[in-house]
Amino acid sequence: MSDNQVVDEIDAMTRRLHIPHIRRSFYDLALTAKAQRWDPIELIRVLLEIEIKGRNEKTLEKRRIAANLPSNRTLEGFDSSISSIPAQTIHGLANLEWIPRKENLLVLGPPGTGKSFFAEALATQAIEAGMRVAWYSPEALCDYIKVAKATDTLALALLRLMRLDLVVIDDLGILPVDSVDSEALYRVVNACYEKTSVIVTSNFPIGSFDEIITPRSLATALVDRLAHHAHLIETKGDSIRLAQALSGKGVVPL
């Protein structure tokens, strides 16, 4: 059998076995192994390592897409020098040990003080650690619950959230929340309580959540469950976005 026939046969077998990363690498790696006189066992080890690395990267990419993060913010890009969040707190949350403990995180403060950036950076960190994450605006999350109720799939919809490691609800209260949406938010928080970690960012202090959620009894029940096992961060200061805009850092200079 000629070398070309062997290559074609290996290509066909790797396709059948669904090992695409080995299929793309085996020929060039075999030439390298031959030129450098590798032990055959080393060649097999490297090929398997390539396949595992490729699959891990593919899984990570799928989790990023499924999470629906708004941007590509990371902790490396989070400028702690202009943030009011203490460096010790950033470091403590970045290890993600609070997520397996099903603890929550509330990041509350004025607009432009880095709440969403920090939440997304932690969500990215969680995805890279192999965790399942979902990012929602309050409106998108409420729509998800309302559709589930209308199609009689509410239990399944809540179960999907409970199977995640982390749910992020960004900018709670920035747009009006009616009683129907308030009920939807409560259902999510109640379902995730002690089962899935939740990050909530909001311009409202926790004592004013009854201005977002109606009626007051529902707001009290939601805050009770959300805050019970929660880390609370209150950001302070002027808007970082506005400061950057006024200093000309919001755009690339013409």
Range of the domain at 201: 75-246
Predicted TM-score (pTM) of the model is: 0.84
In a domain? residue 47: yes
Q: What is the pLDDT of residue 139?
A: 97
Backbone angles phi, psi at 167, to 5 degrees: -120, 130
| Total number of domains in the chain | 2
**Do 144 and 136 meet the contact criterion of CB atoms below 8 Å apart?**
yes
Same domain, yes or no, for 177 and 80?
A: yes
Backbone angles phi, psi at 85, to 5 degrees: -75, 125
Q: What is the pLDDT of residue 7?
A: 87
Same domain, yes or no, for 233 and 110?
A: yes
CA atoms of 141 and 188, how far apart (whole Å): 9
CA atoms of 16 and 4, how far apart (whole Å): 18
- DSSP letters along 19-83, please? -HHHHHHHHHHHHHHHHHT--HHHHHHHHHHHHHHHHHHHHHHHHHHHHT-SS---GGG--GGG-
Same domain, yes or no, for 83 and 201?
A: yes
User: Quick one: which H or E segment has residue 232?
Assistant: strand 230-234
Q: End of a domain among 50, 67, 84? A: 67
Residue listed under structure tokens 């990570």: 60
Q: Which of 214, 213, 188 lies closest to 199, judged by CA?
A: 188
In a domain? residue 253: no
* CA angle centred on 210, ends 205 and 215, rounded to 5°: 165
**Do 122 and 75 meet the contact criterion of CB atoms below 8 Å apart?**
yes
Same domain, yes or no, for 172 and 124?
A: yes
Q: What is the pLDDT of residue 239?
A: 76
Same domain, yes or no, for 122 and 234?
A: yes
Same domain, yes or no, for 180 and 119?
A: yes
Q: Per-residue pLDDT for the chain (254 aa), expressed as one digit of tens each?
A: 677 888 899 999 999 999 999 999 999 999 999 999 999 999 999 999 999 999 989 998 999 999 999 988 999 988 888 889 999 999 999 999 999 999 999 999 999 999 999 999 999 999 999 999 999 999 999 999 999 999 999 999 999 999 999 999 999 999 989 999 999 999 999 999 999 999 999 999 999 999 999 999 999 999 999 999 999 999 998 777 777 776 777 777 77
User: Quick one: which H or E segment has residue 199?
Assistant: strand 197-202
Same domain, yes or no, for 37 and 84?
A: no
Q: What is the pLDDT of residue 79?
A: 84
Q: What is the pLDDT of residue 82?
A: 84
Same domain, yes or no, for 9 and 80?
A: no
In a domain? residue 234: yes
In a domain? residue 114: yes
Q: What is the CATH number of the domain that holds 192?
A: 3.40.50.300
Q: Which of 171, 111, 109 lies closest to 141, judged by CA?
A: 171
In a domain? residue 145: yes
CA atoms of 142 and 70, how far apart (whole Å): 18
Residue listed under structure tokens 């690395």: 53
Q: End of a domain among 67, 83, 104? A: 67
Same domain, yes or no, for 114 and 18?
A: no
Same domain, yes or no, for 113 and 210?
A: yes
Q: End of a domain among 45, 67, 89? A: 67
